[in-house]
Amino acid sequence: MFTPLPDKPDHPALELEILDVWEREGTFDRLRAQNADGPTWSFVDGPVTANRMSLGVHTAWGRTLKDVFQRYKALRGFHQRYQNGFDCQGLWIEVGVERSLGLNSKREIEQYGLEEFARRCREVVVKSSEALTRGSIRLGQWMDWGRDYFTFSDTNIEYIWKFLKIVHERGWLYMGHRATAWCPRCGTSLSQHELTQGGVYQERTDPSLYVRFPLEDRPGESIVVWTTTPWTLPANVAAAVHPDGEYGLRENGEWVLASLFPDDAFVRRVPGGELVGLRYEGPFDTLPPGASVDHRIVPWDEVTFDEGTGIVHIATGCGPEDFELGKALGLPVLQPVDESGHFFSDYGWLHGLSTADSADQIVGDLGERGLLVDAGTYLHNYAHCWRCDTPIIYRLSDDWFISVEDLRETLLAENAQVHWVPEYMGKRMDDWLRNMGDWNISRRRYYGLPLPFYPCACGHLNVIGSKAELAERALEGMDQLEELRRPWVDRVPIRCEQCGETVTRIPEVGDVWLDAGIVPFATLGWENDTWVDEGYATGAAKGLTRADLPDHAYWETWFPADWVSEMREQIRLWFYSQFFMAVALVGRSPYRRVLAYEKMLDEHGREMHASWGNTIAAEDAFAQMGADVMRWQYCAQPPDRNLLFGYGPAHEIKRRLLTFWNSIKFLVDYANIEGFEPSWSRLEPTGELRPLDRWLVERTKQLVVDAETAYEATLTVDVMRSFEAFVDDVSNWYIRRSRRRFYSFDEAAFSTLWYALVQSLRVIAPVMPFLADHVWRNLVQDGPESVHLAPWPEVEPPDTRLLEEIAEVRRVVELGRQARSSSQLKLRQPLRRLVVAGASRSAEGHAEEIGDELRVKEVEFGDVEASELRVKPNLPVLGPKLGAALREVRERLARGEFEELDGGRFQVDGHVLEPDEVLVERVGREGWAVASDARITVALDTGLDDDLLLEARLLDRVHEVNALRKESGLEITDRIRLWLPDADLIGRYRERIMEETLATELGEGELRIERA
């Protein structure tokens, strides 16, 4: 006996119930024990930043994909690691805490106290990791919860120290002095890859200023520059022209690039080279820094001719290109603003003003001094700090870099070995590896990896590679070192190994991507001599995890990862940082295969923003759609397109899922009536199989084979496509065509449908772990307790000939339905004749089924004479191919001057048009409804006679009676007594009426039924 099913599944309720069952039965532990001796499949989890207090639906997407493939591989018997990771340091967390404490600057953080600040940041990680764990469990993700890695553990930090020491020994570590992207609010530089994160470039309106610089030796003449950053003008040191550009002198004495002002009249034109070397008055020679500079016009090949004036204001301290030019030409460097973006004291009346606040005053001052030619506004995409949204500035900074040049070739070669899905993601990585600059690893912040650099006045750079080494060389402070982090680590000075002097650590912390990049080493025990049980919980991670610190043999087993998966954005972030670190440390890629996917937007295609009210909390989605429906939505998504996530798409998925549910319910309902009791030990169908049963068996094998191919290719979208097509075939073909066989006990029908559904549950279990297990536990009562403990189904290759035959029949039926609906005839109206042309011979054996499906008396295979053919060009495809010839082809097609070739091709005016280049329409002549695809055409005789009309009335009546049965609450097997008012129907169709309504008696009278 199966447990009866409700009309619709209550997803949240059944999911919570299954979570309990898994917990009670230890299902996940049993699965892992079952696979313990299996081959390994190594997955490494990219850490989620532990700063949110609930799981987001975008994070749930990635977690679903990870879970799906780990579950699939587990069904295939693979022994796996299930370690979840939390990213615990960096600006995300730090800035959040800063805000919650109401702190607004680095000075305020220091006043607050770094020790307390670090503890508050850790608290966020603790709470967030708990919340994210809860959300992930609710999502159905099976991980080794409680044995997670936390990137702020001393172990993780020590591994990064070891990496940095090796990098230093190889000569790749250096301190760079350059103009760098800088967030004035966070008071730190940002690296190139931080600027590539989503949301960094935002539209913004800036001032657009045209400013005159008077030429010293040419009274009355001046050069005009254009800038959108007024605050950089006080740091001007030069003006650059293109030596080959043609510059023009306006009547009023202003020099600009002539081609940029085509409407202006110029009294003189000279090549830029002639202006080079001229001296001009700097825009802020009124202030000491400007006054100290000898301003001259310099040549620069990078001056562009498409914007501005063709004369570029150069502030070497405020822009990376300016800085490089200055270095090449030996220009002076002015640094106008401090870490927080405020003017230094030598900038006179600007002192203390921020880069943003100074704009108006600078514009006003230039105006008063007659230097402003024009002032307006300029809308452009400008980089903002990825964490706090402040527009970035460029300023001089001493940062620590890792040089990439020595590694670039190996990086490129290793990337070429990685299997990227979709393929273009690998190309993106390749582009990035070719063009990226050195890695800026230092940040002037508090809550992050402490860089173990101890530069000494003697010129020696001490780099510490481990906590033990620090202890050995420490002069004091080891006793208070509770975590290998700020501020504790700053209190441990060491002795310089070169000169013996006392040296202290630099205050900088590391780029957060070092933390995540070291994971394939720090969590797998690389070069670690002895295994330490629960040994990973060091420093800040103490008490948070029971993760082991494995030994080197373990690393050998699990490195590199067979598979990793994250969003596309991670190409330049986590995919990159771990790739770089692995290639630096061991010369090879840390992963073999990657699945990357595009962004999540709301269901209307807009970005999700809390302030727009279109974000969805995972908690709400669990309660309103259920985790299985969310997971379906994620899995149905092609990874190369943005996912439009929302309740609308979820509703549509529920509708499709209901088709599957209804098929299961159909089996359960009739099996209970007929006492059908299948057994796992006889999985294959039993009894006298009919052709349709044999077809469903083969169709099921095809599902298994297709889904397996899709899972192996890590393309869930193809899993879902094959599953949905299967669900449609079971419901709209097998059950539709076999319904009556379930009204009494037909063993073959029951056992075949049961087999098909059970196999499909095994296939879809990784995607919908809850619903699949819930149904499994009902349908399979003497097999493995959980669908997740049953292995992946092993099947023979399907009989493709048979599958194609039925697929062909279904195509003909589908076209027949189209023809019917175009004729406006109601579905219950029987028709006389259908003619099918172009179908393969195999469909001919199914004429009866086709006729039955379409309520047509006769089905003929032959030419469709009752139609005319219209062919039109498929413009988007044919336009580019034919060009000017399109017009003639189009006209000839319209006049019917073409020849039909085989395979759906057409010949027109000497051109052969392929099937996808034309739109074919076959129009029925009077009395015929026609539908066609590229190959098959069907024509439906729409003529009606008295017999057909009478039969239509019969079918309407039967339908009416059966609706009445349902309304009266009769069981599907109850017999009735029936009265009908239609003497003609009773006279002609008595037996058929009684059979189709389960009537034992049929009389004439007002329509009514009684239970017999």
Q: What residues line the site for Zn ion (CB under 5 A)?
A: 183, 185-186, 385, 388, 390, 456, 458, 460, 496, 498-499, 501
Shortest distance (Å) from residue 184 CB to Zn ion: 8
Q: Which of 115, 101, 920 is nearest to 485 (CA)?
A: 115
Shortest distance (Å) from residue 280 CB to Zn ion: 36
Nearer to Zn ion, 503 or 704 (CB): 503
Nearer to Zn ion, 186 or 976 (CB): 186
Nearer to Zn ion, 385 or 955 (CB): 385
Relative to beta strand 79-80, strand 40-41 is: parallel
**By the 8 A CB rule, do 653 and 634 touch?**
no
Q: Which of 515, 518, 516, 470 is nearest to 495 (CA)?
A: 470
- Taking the CB of residue 82, how many other CB atoms lie within 10 A of it? 18
Burial class (CB in 10 A: 0-12, 13-18, 19+), 728: middle
Q: Which of 377, 337, 388 is nearest to 185 (CA)?
A: 388
Shortest distance (Å) from residue 167 CB to Zn ion: 21
The SS3 call for residue 390 is coil
**By the 8 A CB rule, do 956 and 993 touch?**
no
> How many whole angstroms from its chain centre is CA 590?
21
Nearer to Zn ion, 91 or 929 (CB): 91
Shortest distance (Å) from residue 502 CB to Zn ion: 9
Shortest distance (Å) from residue 339 CB to Zn ion: 12
CA 131 to CA 342: how far, in whole Å?
39
- The backbone torsions φ and ψ at residue 169, rounded to the nearest 5 degrees and listed phi first, read -60, -30
Nearer to Zn ion, 385 or 657 (CB): 385
Nearer to Zn ion, 341 or 830 (CB): 341
- The backbone torsions φ and ψ at residue 677, rounded to the nearest 5 degrees and listed phi first, read -130, 95
CA 820 to CA 674: how far, in whole Å?
37
* Cis? peptide before 422, omega within 30° of 0: yes
Shortest distance (Å) from residue 476 CB to Zn ion: 18
Encoded amino acid at 601, one letter: L
Shortest distance (Å) from residue 132 CB to Zn ion: 24
Shortest distance (Å) from residue 135 CB to Zn ion: 27
Q: Which of 529, 591, 534, 602 is nearest to 559 (CA)?
A: 591
Angle at 747 between CA 746 and CA 752, to 5 degrees: 110
Nearer to Zn ion, 464 or 621 (CB): 464
Nearer to Zn ion, 501 or 891 (CB): 501
Residues 186-208: b if buried by 16+ CB within 10 A, e if exposed: bbbbbbbbbbbeeebeeeeebbb
Nearer to Zn ion, 497 or 677 (CB): 497
Shortest distance (Å) from residue 497 CB to Zn ion: 8
CA 514 vs CA 177, 403, 640, 665: distances in Å:
21, 15, 28, 53
Shortest distance (Å) from residue 506 CB to Zn ion: 14
Nearer to Zn ion, 183 or 940 (CB): 183
Shortest distance (Å) from residue 456 CB to Zn ion: 3
Shortest distance (Å) from residue 183 CB to Zn ion: 3
Q: How many helices (H) and strands (E) does the chain have?
A: 31, 41
CA 298 to CA 326: how far, in whole Å?
10
- The backbone torsions φ and ψ at residue 22, rounded to the nearest 5 degrees and listed phi first, read -60, -40
Nearer to Zn ion, 196 or 714 (CB): 196
Nearer to Zn ion, 200 or 549 (CB): 200
> How many whole angstroms from its chain centre is CA 231?
39
Helix/strand/coil (H, E, C) string of 548-593?
Answer: CECCHHHHHHHCCECEEEEEHHHHHCHHHHHHHHHHHHHCCCCECE
Angle at 426 between CA 424 and CA 427, to 5 degrees: 65
Shortest distance (Å) from residue 193 CB to Zn ion: 16
Nearer to Zn ion, 494 or 850 (CB): 494
- Tokens in use for 368? 């008063």
Shortest distance (Å) from residue 194 CB to Zn ion: 10
Nearer to Zn ion, 27 or 191 (CB): 191
Nearer to Zn ion, 304 or 498 (CB): 498
- Taking the CB of residue 817, how many other CB atoms lie within 10 A of it? 16
Give DSSP secondary structure letters for 811-853: HHHHHHHHHHHHTT--TT--EEEEEEES--GGGGGGHHHHHHH
Shortest distance (Å) from residue 460 CB to Zn ion: 5
